[in-house]
Amino acid sequence: MNSNSPMECEKDRQLDELLNAYRSACPDFEPGASFMPGIWARIDEREVSTNWFGRIAKTLVTAAVAASAILALMLSSFNHQTFNHQAAEFLNGTFVEALRADQVAELEPFHVDHIAELEQQ
């Protein structure tokens, strides 16, 4: 990394010199009278806008929570009603009806027409 030619070393030295001279060539900055009041004015401005955004965000979060709670309540009452209806049917039916209802689901994929066609062949 450091195996530079004499010309490169000279350039390197010139750059160092230039950067050192640059530091002293830069003027010192004296802040104006409005520097501190300006900072506080901008801080206040940001605090106001942050509070405004905060309030909006809070309102939105509250509304979202309320909507979720309402939806959850609606869903749970709907499920409850459906479940009650199915449970009542099951409990009120006879043992034979319950068995039939259970077997209908298993028999459904078979089609009588198809079996008849097969028999004809």
Partner 1 sequence: MLVEFDLIQRAQKGDAGAFNQVVTAYRRRIMGTISRLIGRPEDVEDVAQEVFIRLYFSLEQLRTPEVFEPWLYRLTVNASYDYLRKSRRRLESRMSDLSEQQVMMADAAAGSRQQSEDGEKRRVRDQVQNLLASVSDEDRILLTLKEVEGLSLKELEKIYQVNENALKVRLFRARQRVLKNMKDVTPPLARTAKSNDTP
Give the count of alpha carbons within 13 A of 108, CB side only. Answer: 7
Of the pair 12, 97, the CB lying nearest partner 1 is at 12
Of the pair 50, 62, the CB lying nearest partner 1 is at 50
**By rule CB under 8 A, what string of x and - marks binding of each residue 79-108 to partner 1?**
------------------------------
Contact residue for partner 1 among 5, 28, 96, 114 (CB under 8 A): 28
Whole-number CA gyration radius for the chain: 42
Contacts made by residues 82-87, CB under 8 angstroms, sequence distance 24+: none
49 binds partner 1 (CB under 8 A): no
Give the span between the Cα atoms of 57 and 65, in whole angstroms: 12
> Which DSSP state fits 30?
-
Q: For binding to partner 1 (CB under 8 A), which residues are involved? A: 1, 8, 11-12, 14-19, 21-32, 35-36, 38-40, 42-43, 46
